[in-house]
Structure 1
Amino acid sequence: QSKWDKAFWARGYYVETIGNITDEAVQKYIKEQAEE
């Protein structure tokens, strides 16, 4: 499992935990990941 997979899981878990994410936040996250 790559470092990216673990980071994605951790962030995904955090997002689910706070239960508050917007489409804008998702797009920002995807854009940041695409740049790496």
Structure 2
Amino acid sequence: MQGKLLVIRVNQKYSEYGMENARKVIGNQSKSEIL
């Protein structure tokens, strides 16, 4: 049971990190389009 919880926590961290990266990429794309 503890192993499953640990995996879920790690997955949440990675998905949050992935969202941050996606926002940065989208932000960079919109900046270059404006320029």
Task: With the length of structure 1 as denominator, give the TM-score of the two structures.
Answer: 0.49
Q: List structure 1 segments (4+ residues) > 4 angstroms apart after TM superposition.
A: none
Q: Which one has the largest radius of gyration?
A: 2
Q: Greater share of helix residues, 1 or 2?
A: 2
Percent identity (aligned): 10
- d(CA) in 2 for partners of 1:17 and 1:6? 17
- d(CA) in 1 for partners of 2:19 and 2:34? 22
- d(CA) in 2 for partners of 1:15 and 1:9? 10
Higher relative contact order (CA 8 A, sep 6+): 1
Question: Which one of the candidate residues 18, 22, 28 is aligned to 2:33?
Answer: 18
Task: With the length of structure 2 as denominator, give the TM-score of the two structures.
Answer: 0.51
Aligned residues: 20
Question: Which one of the candidate residues 19, 25, 29 is aligned to 1:4?
Answer: 19
Deviation at 1:4, TM superposition (A): 0.3
